[in-house]
Amino acid sequence: TKPPVVRARCGSSEAGIGDSLTCGTGDDLAIHVAMPDLPDATASFVWNAARMTTKTIGRGTTFTMPAAAGYLRVHVYAADGSTAAITNPVYVQTR
């Protein structure tokens, strides 16, 4: 199984897993997750070690929140509930 594709974006800036992203105050942070090999999987959006919400991935899903300083991870679970992936962080800074 290929790893999940995770892209974080705010304003015109974009970052992937292991990268840093700088957002302006008042920006929205959008995290897009795709896992083509596991369309029935679910993705949990984790912000600063707290699970925020979980969605079915399907052809791709997006989580959004107001931009803040911290880090995010995505935990992916297969349809049977087993862990398929836990990403490294994407670090977010605000200016």
What are the pLDDT digits (tens) for 47-68? 999 999 999 999 999 999 999 9
pLDDT of res. 80: 96
Contacts 24+ apart (CB under 8 A), 81-86: 84/1, 84/4, 84/35, 84/38, 84/41, 85/3, 85/4, 85/35
Confidence of residue 2 (pLDDT cuts 50, 70, 90): confident
pLDDT of res. 39: 86
The per-residue pLDDT of the chain, averaged, comes to: 96
Residues 63-89: tens digit of each pLDDT: 999 999 999 999 999 999 999 999 999
